[in-house]
Amino acid sequence: MSSASGLQLEPEYANPPRRGVKKGVYLIPSLFTAANIGMGFFAVMASLRGFQLLGQPTPDIAWAAAHFDNAARAIGWAVLFDMLDGRIARLTKTTTEIGVQLDSIADVVTFGVAPAVLAYVWGYGASLVEGTPAHQFGWFISFMFLMCGGFRLARFNVQSSRPRILAEGTIKVDKKSFVGLPIPAAAGLIAGIVHFSPSPLVALGPERARPYSVLLILLMGVLSVMMVSTIRFSSFKTVGTKVRSMRIVILCLAVGMLIFLYSQYVLLGIVVTYILHGLLARVIGVFWRRADEAKVDPQPIRQSDR
């Protein structure tokens, strides 16, 4: 740009270009997001390979179970990467619009497609007779799990961007809680169940596998409804950001060691506890509001009291 005196001035940047180390810092959250996508792709491929082994003339149950377990572990690692990319972006103030969109796409693949495929091939897809109404309904439930998860992510993106586009004075979205069950938690529950018992349901035999398959279909349906519901679940985004103490470090180390030693029990217990926490909080909140309304509302005047 030129001044009135004809001198050549350097252009002004609202956001100066990122170079060197600072540019590398901006890439760190995206690397975790890329790892998230990689784990989702691995989970899908491992699930399909396990399903292929079950379709052989002589099914290899043990080797198929190992593939299903690897798929469940990959989803578990993806949950960790998904937690870290957002937290690192907030702590380093390197949040970008493209990073937000990339994170949503990664979640659709890893926490939508991968658990839907895993539940189908590990559970009802192999244990129910193909072509029967129950089998077709199971296929439909897996599809609805993916669709509800995609809707949940789209609603989250809209709610997250709303404080930046609305006029000043508008109440901002509560970032301490999620509206609807987060899709990583729903996927984590499916992965936790498979990791707890990696042997496919078809190994139980047709008669014993059928009721478990029906229960798994119902669970997928309940998770789908919870993702599009208005039930609030804690986001834990503020944990460890304001107060940094040794207690938090010791707690994280303890949980990490328990997961390393007893991953089959601890991971499933953590996901179940998180989901039940949101449901119980909703139930308690409903009864609490009703009790407050009963205290505020005046008693009606009877005819005999006039």
DSSP secondary structure of 79-123: HHHHHHHHHHHHHHT---HHHHHHHHHHHHIIIIIHHHHHHIIII
Domain count, the chain: 1
In a domain, 166, yes or no: no
What pLDDT, on the 0 to 100 scale, is given for residue 238?
Answer: 59
Beta strands in 119-247 (DSSP E): 177-179, 232-234
In a domain, 220, yes or no: yes
Per-residue pLDDT tens over the stretch 77-104: 999 998 887 777 777 776 777 777 888 8
Structural domain for 126, as ranges = 21-160+171-290
In a domain, 301, yes or no: no
In a domain, 4, yes or no: no
**Is a pLDDT exceeding 60 seen at residue 11?**
no
In a domain, 296, yes or no: no
Higher pLDDT, 259 or 86: 259
What pLDDT, on the 0 to 100 scale, is given for residue 23?
Answer: 59
- Rounded to the nearest 10 degrees, how much is the dihedral formed by the CA atoms of 165, 171, 177, 178? -40
Instruction: Return d(Cα 43, Cα 58) in angstroms, integer.
Output: 24
Per-residue pLDDT tens over the stretch 188-203: 999 999 999 999 999 9
pLDDT band at residue 286, thresholds of 50, 70 and 90? confident
What pLDDT, on the 0 to 100 scale, is given for residue 215?
Answer: 95
Mean pLDDT of 159-178: 58
